[in-house]
Amino acid sequence: MRRLFGDILLPRVTAVALWAWVAFNLALVAWVGIQSLKDSGEVWLSPFSLPSDPQWGNYSSAWKAAGFSAAALNSTLLTVAGALLIVGLAAPAAYVLARSNRRVAGPLTGYFAMGLSIPLQTIVIPIVVIKLSVYSFMEDWVTGWWDNRITLLVFQVVLSLPFAVFVLTGYMRSLPHEIEEAAEMDGAGPLRAFVRIVLPVAKPGVMTVLVLNVIGLWNETLLVLLISPMPEERTLPVALLNLYSTMQYSSDWGGLFAGIVILVYPMIVLYLWLGRRIVEGMTAGIGK
């Protein structure tokens, strides 16, 4: 009986539970999109029905009320720059850790893994102190000005590196050494072999880290609130929080749902588009 449950029933029950969870989340995403096309009265009176008269103006009102134009630009620039910097720093570091025979390689990989276990909430005070110190130093002694978004970008990159290095190290270890040996026989040095041979072969793992960091940076909220509190420096998640404060007093719930769609749907589409590559990159080096 125990063997029957473990070999047959448990996998089926697990599969059913996972598909039920997926269906629930997809239904929730669709429900939010439907609510974004209703007026406030219809949101409350008919929350589970289709909109009788789609209110496409909810999107324009949400965009204007929350100042989404500047916030979207900030989110896009910070996300693109941060993701590229993370991958650009993590890929060579992971390659060295994966291929190095020195004793320090193993402990260093472990330290990067330990970095994943540090919650952001535990280092809030040091982050604020460093941010204020950097701003004062740059403005008073170096350039005469400073933009907190630069500090935000640095913190985003630094705090995201442990995950990126840890994942890419496992992926790099799964790559055969023969590809580098063949490159050396053709006269390629270590740097050229890494850029021309290893990186193209490691594209699934690199794409996984890139996409996951794009999603994480796009949705970052707490760090933005700590470092970039000014209205012109805020990103889309913070703008959405301000929209919630505005819409709950004006009772424009359709506009609030429209703001959620503007923030969430692009990342959902990106994940659905590249989901298989993400899974492949995450699991390729699992046995190494």
Q: pLDDT, tens digit, for every residue of 6-25?
A: 556 667 778 889 899 989 99
- Predicted pLDDT of residue 241: 86
DSSP SS3 for 65: helix
Identify whether the C-beta of residue 265 lies closer than 8 Å to the C-beta of residue 273: no
State residue 118's pLDDT score: 83
Note the pLDDT of residue 28.
Answer: 92
204 vs 171: CA distance, rounded Å: 9
Backbone angles phi, psi at 101, to 5 degrees: -100, 5
| Ordered structural domains, the chain, with CATH | 69-283 (1.10.3720.10)
Write down the pLDDT at residue 182.
Answer: 77
Q: What is the pLDDT of residue 158?
A: 93
How far apart, in whole angstroms, are the C-alpha atoms of residue 10 and residue 189? 51
**pLDDT (0 to 100) of residue 6:** 53
All residues at 6 or more sequence positions from 61 whose CB lies less than 8 Å from its CB, including other chains: 252, 255, 258
Q: What's the rounded Cα separation, in Å, for the pair 44 and 46? A: 6
What is the pTM assigned to this prediction? Answer: 0.84
**Count of other CB atoms within 10 angstroms of residue 196:** 12
Q: Which helix (H) or strand (E) holds 7?
A: none
Q: How far is it, in rounded angstroms, from Cα 127 to Cα 229?
A: 14
The separation between CA 43 and the C-alpha centre of its own chain, rounded to angstroms, equals 30
Q: Three-state SS for 1?
A: coil
Instruction: Tell me what pLDDT residue 280 has.
Output: 65
**Which regions of the chain are under pLDDT 50?**
286-288
